[in-house]
Amino acid sequence: MKLAILAGAAALTVLSTAAFAEDYVGGAIKTMEINGVEVLTGANGMTLYTFDKDEPGVSNCNAQCAANWPPAIADAGATPEGDFTLVDRADGAQVWAYKGWPLYYWVKDSQPGDTTGDMVGGVWHTATE
């Protein structure tokens, strides 16, 4: 019984990994086709979003906003590549940005491929290529 569960989990992992189309900045950001659209995700497959109240190169989502919309924090020593850059936040962290726009996760997305944050408040948008 345990072996069957493990085999099923391994198959699920293979299936979910196959959904990714591109791999950027050392695998920290990927693309996944969701409903026919190439969406940016974190390495974990969770959808990334942009915020209309940000500016290119400036993250304005702090305090409670950042609790609901966790920034896509870059690992120490991360290197920008192509359209993917790093933005310094007021809290000292560096976050990934696409074409200058900081990227965030949405706490209410519960599994890879969820896009429940799209159009929240009319200011949050699924990050697409």
118-125: long-range contacts, CB 8 A cutoff, minimum separation 24: 118/49, 122/52, 123/51, 123/52, 123/53, 124/49, 124/50, 124/51, 124/52, 124/69, 125/49, 125/50, 125/52
State pLDDT tens for residues 50-73.
999 999 999 999 999 999 999 999
Average pLDDT over residues 77-85: 95
pLDDT class for 21, splitting at 50, 70, 90? confident
pLDDT at 10: 36
For residue 33, which of 110, 112, 119 has the smallest C-alpha distance? 112
The domain spans of the chain are: 20-126
> With 90 as the cut, is the pLDDT of residue 5 above it?
no
- Residue 23 pLDDT class (50, 70, 90 cuts): confident
pLDDT at 11: 35
